[in-house]
Amino acid sequence: MKYPRTLIASAIMILTALGLGPISRVEDVPIKKPLSQFPMQIGEWKGFEDRFEERIYKILGVDDSILANYRSQDGHQISLYVGFYQNQREGNVIHSPKHCMPGTGWNITHTAVEEVAIAQTNPEKLNVTKLKMEKDGQKIIAFYWFQSRGRFIHSEYLQKIFLVYDSMFKNRTDGSFVRLIATVKDDNEKATLNNLKEFIGLLIPLLNEHLPS
């Protein structure tokens, strides 16, 4: 989705004008439930905890996080990463995969916004950013969004706007980043997308138990 240039320009002007003043006065907001307690069984998906290299965590600057690989009974796999920040200041800010993934050799071939319907929960539907990526003949699809201060945000631009707004009027800059990655098997992108959407439907209620609203 493309946003009006005036909106983007306004956001940049606000960020530039305000700088880090309001952000430096925000409160630390603790996580509701540690991500170390995140379930390793989500529906039929069985998870196995994983970890990045320690240097990655230093770059990310997260206060809490979970990295896990979930496998379905028919052999499909989804990698889940959730990073939580009590505040975003002094360089500890959420990093976008659009910058990080190419640094690990992945070529982003397509970017879009995907709507995901979620039954019997809040929100009833969710917009996420979808990235198609390739490396050495392998294809993957990533879904990600920012889950911050009660909002579900797919856009980096809106994330920055709300970050400044909430620092000024709520004294909060806590936030979370949620990313899912699945390998495209047998060039069947539709099946991969369906798996990701199904998993998100199961995931959202669990995230709401852990992340501040």
Q: Tally the domains of the chain.
A: 1
| 10: pLDDT strictly greater than 70 | no
- Structural domain span for residue 188: 5-210
pLDDT digits (tens, 9 = 90+) for 27-67: 889 999 999 999 999 999 999 999 999 998 988 889 999 99
Would you state the structure tokens that stand for residue 203, as one six-digit string?
Answer: 């995931």
CA distance linking residue 174 with residue 159, whole number of Å:
12
Q: Is the pTM of this model over 0.85?
A: yes
Amino acid at 19: G
Peptide bond into 123 cis (omega under 30): yes
Which phi-psi region, left, alpha or beta, contains residue 136 (left: φ > 0; alpha: ψ -120 to 50)? left
Say if residue 1's pLDDT is above 50: no
Look at 14-23, 56-65, 156-165 and tell me which has the smallest mean pLDDT: 14-23
